[in-house]
């Protein structure tokens, strides 16, 4: 793969990660990750327009939950002696895509060098995007973002493995992204049935008998800050 244009150019002999320098033996070898800089419509614009995926039945606007890098507002406790203080957040269980993206920005082995990269993170908030179109839209609209994403990923420098070296986070139930038919009455979209999408590994909160699904826990409101909590 040809390396994309970047101010962080790495040579084969001496490679540095984007977050701090690696050791002389390069502890990042085999662990380098490239984060796709997707158009904002696939992630950040969804957060800016957070009101659009607030359902009429929701008691709280989803905009509350996208704050604080997806953790939501901290829950205050008047008991200052409580060791659990500062560890509880008003979270929404479907914020994993946002939380994971922000955590990955701090990963020590990030790179822009396609020669050494081991895997590529796709920063598409698929669950949040679908929640905008799930009610009242036809199947073409529900499918559109997935098609657009796959087409965007077919850039020459990254397409040689047909997305087999890509992964993303899916914060939604399995059937949200596996609609088999194009009837409007059918639930969800067909994102996981797109060929290049099938090749990607998915960190997902609900798996099944499909290949490349890796189950991870739901987001919770408790986030300990010390090992004894």
Q: Is residue 220 part of a domain?
A: no
Q: Is residue 5 part of a domain?
A: no
pLDDT band at 19 (very low <50, low <70, confident <90, very high): low
Number of domains in the chain: 1
- What proportion of the chain, given as a percentage, has pLDDT over 90? 28
**Cα–Cα distance list, 40 to 49, 101, 123, 140, 199 (Å):** 11, 13, 10, 21, 23
Q: What is the pLDDT of residues 29-79, one digit of tens each?
A: 999 999 999 999 999 999 999 888 777 777 788 888 888 888 888 877 766
Q: Is residue 192 part of a domain?
A: yes
The CA distance from 132 to 217, in Å, is: 23
Q: Is residue 226 part of a domain?
A: no
pLDDT band at 106 (very low <50, low <70, confident <90, very high): very high
Q: Where is pLDDT greater, at 55 or 5?
A: 55
- The pLDDT of residue 11: 37
- The pLDDT of residue 149: 94
The CA distance from 172 to 149, in Å, is: 18
- The pLDDT of residue 205: 87
- The pLDDT of residue 96: 92
Q: Where is pLDDT greater, at 113 or 75?
A: 113
Q: Is residue 104 part of a domain?
A: yes
Q: What is the pLDDT of residues 137-152, one digit of tens each?
A: 888 889 999 999 999 9
- The pLDDT of residue 4: 41
185: left (phi over 0), alpha (psi -120 to 50) or beta: alpha
What count of other Cβ atoms lies within 10 Å of the Cβ of residue 117?
19
pLDDT band at 218 (very low <50, low <70, confident <90, very high): confident
Domain around 143: 33-54+94-215
- The pLDDT of residue 14: 38
Q: Is residue 16 part of a domain?
A: no
């Amino acid at each position: 793969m040809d390396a994309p244009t970047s101010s962080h150019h790495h040579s084969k002999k001496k490679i540095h990660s984007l977050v701090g320098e690696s050791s002389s033996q390069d502890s990042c070898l085999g662990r380098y990750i490239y984060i796709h800089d997707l158009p904002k419509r696939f992630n950040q614009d969804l957060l800016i327009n957070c009101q659009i995926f607030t359902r009429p039945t929701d008691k709280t606007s989803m905009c509350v939950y996208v704050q604080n890098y997806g953790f939501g507002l901290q829950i205050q406790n008047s008991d200052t002696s409580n060791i659990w203080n500062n560890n509880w957040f008003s979270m929404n269980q479907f914020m994993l895509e946002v939380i994971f993206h922000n955590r990955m920005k701090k990963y020590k082995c990030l790179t822009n060098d396609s020669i050494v990269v081991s895997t590529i993170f796709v920063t598409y908030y698929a669950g949040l995007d679908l929640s905008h179109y799930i009610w009242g839209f036809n199947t073409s609209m529900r499918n559109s973002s997935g098609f657009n994403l796959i087409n965007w990923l077919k850039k020459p420098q990254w397409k040689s493995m047909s997305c087999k070296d890509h992964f993303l986070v899916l914060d939604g139930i399995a059937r949200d992204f596996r609609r088999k038919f194009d009837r409007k009455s059918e639930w969800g979209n067909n994102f996981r049935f797109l060929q290049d999408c099938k090749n990607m590994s998915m960190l997902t909160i609900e798996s099944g008998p499909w290949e490349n699904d890796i189950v991870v826990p739901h987001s919770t409101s408790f986030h300990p800050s010390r090992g004894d909590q």
